[in-house]
Amino acid sequence: MSAVYRGSRYYTTTSPRLVDRDNGKEGDMQAGGAGLCWPIYDTALQNGAEFMLNCKMTKIIRENGDRSGRVLGIEASFEGKTIYLRGTKAVFLGTGSWNSNPTLKQLFNPWLTKYPHVSGEPYVFNDGKGVELALDAGASLATDRGNDWHGWHRHPGSVWHSIDLPFGVPGTAEPLDSECIYVNAQGERFMNEEIGEHSPPWVGGSHPFHFAQLCAAQTVDKDGPVVWIILDEESRAKQGLEFTVGTIVEDSMYTVSETIEGLASKIGCKPETLLATVTRYNELVDKGADEDYHKQHLDAKIAQAPFHAIKWGIQKHNTLGGITINPKSQVLDWRLEPISGLYAAGECAGNMDLIGLAKPIVFGRIAAMTIAKEE
């Protein structure tokens, strides 16, 4: 492996087929979107671009004060000093998401008072300061779809999204929702387990409808909402689920016991509460109807020891909504007029109804072509 982790020397967007890039270097790994970024980085260096790492923007400078006139450049902190950088033609914001910004999270998701683990933390910390500074300079905000439900992911037994050793454990496969229950830190069932990661609002059961919203109302710990999946050995064996600690699941996110009461003690809830929850669920299975949360399929009791508890790792993976831009990637003010000399793309920008690589690549290219024509 090379001294600098360069991600993948392969890239793809929607096709499962890997496409080898011709400037791949020894040590590059098969990963994901990094395979698209490194060719751009390498080409930029070849054309004389300078990358100033650990240079943090602190202000967007406009010609006639804080919120008026053309954008001229930025103020930044670099190596312990305040510096000023002038935009030759414009300033482009590609500052990433607001995943780790508590103010913006509350603004975009007022229902979300308890936030799950943010994917990539603590190694990646998307503080949303680019969005904040654009607002200070007069930019407006735009939501995508009126909510932020698409950017959630969940993995049983891991707080990481799409990862593997040595960077983190991947988590086990999702147990069948028809053969398990989800309980909170108190050992109480609180939702229809058929409500998936991105289930739309017509799925029956609890209100509100989205998995993240339901979990956000529960007790939290350092990694977000505490939600345990409870199932028995018969279901585990039938599904071929593996719970190897250290290679598949985190030690703190899995436990097993010969009794429900013992399982409760290990996950930190009252034994009588979890026992009552499991007993009630088994009664509903016998009835063939979920009278509590209206789950459609109840295929198995939780009855055969040993009993397993796997903690959901609920991650905020990416954000929707951000600075308002137009089809030219120009940042718009609150009158929806372009702010001269200011452009944005990627997860700091909203008004696109997109996720993933399309946000920076498509609109970043559009911004570059538009800026090139600036006088």
Domain of 329? Answer: 52-148+319-372
* Backbone dihedral angles phi then psi of residue 343, each to the nearest 5 degrees: -130, 160
Predicted local confidence at residue 283, as pLDDT: 98
Predicted local confidence at residue 86, as pLDDT: 96
Q: What is the CA radius of gyration of the chain?
A: 24
Helix, strand or coil, per DSSP, at residue 310: strand
The CATH number given to whatever domain includes residue 80 is 3.50.50.60
Could you tell me if residue 342 is inside a domain? yes
The CATH number given to whatever domain includes residue 196 is 3.90.700.10
Q: What is the pTM of this model?
A: 0.77
- Same-domain status, 133 and 271: no
* Backbone dihedral angles phi then psi of residue 80, each to the nearest 5 degrees: 80, 5
Domain boundary (281, 298, 316) is at 316
Q: Any idea what DSSP says for residue 117?
A: E
In total, how many domains does the chain have? 2
Predicted local confidence at residue 76, as pLDDT: 97
- Same-domain status, 100 and 183: no
Could you tell me if residue 289 is inside a domain? yes
Predicted local confidence at residue 144, as pLDDT: 67
- Same-domain status, 296 and 162: yes
Could you tell me if residue 36 is inside a domain? no
Predicted local confidence at residue 207, as pLDDT: 47
CA–CA dist 312, 253 (Å, integer) = 8
Could you tell me if residue 7 is inside a domain? no
- Same-domain status, 258 and 348: no
Predicted local confidence at residue 303, as pLDDT: 98
Predicted local confidence at residue 106, as pLDDT: 76
Could you tell me if residue 9 is inside a domain? no
Q: Is 352 exposed, middle or buried (0-12, 13-18, 19+ CB in 10 A)?
A: buried
- Same-domain status, 300 and 195: yes
- Same-domain status, 170 and 271: yes
Predicted local confidence at residue 1, as pLDDT: 27
Q: Which residues of the chain have pLDDT under 50?
A: 1-20, 27-31, 146, 149, 200-208
- What pairing do the DSSP bridges indicate for beta strands 91-93 and 338-344? parallel
Q: Is 246 exposed, middle or buried (0-12, 13-18, 19+ CB in 10 A)?
A: exposed
Predicted local confidence at residue 33, as pLDDT: 65
CA–CA dist 290, 83 (Å, integer) = 63
- Same-domain status, 255 and 177: yes
Predicted local confidence at residue 3, as pLDDT: 38
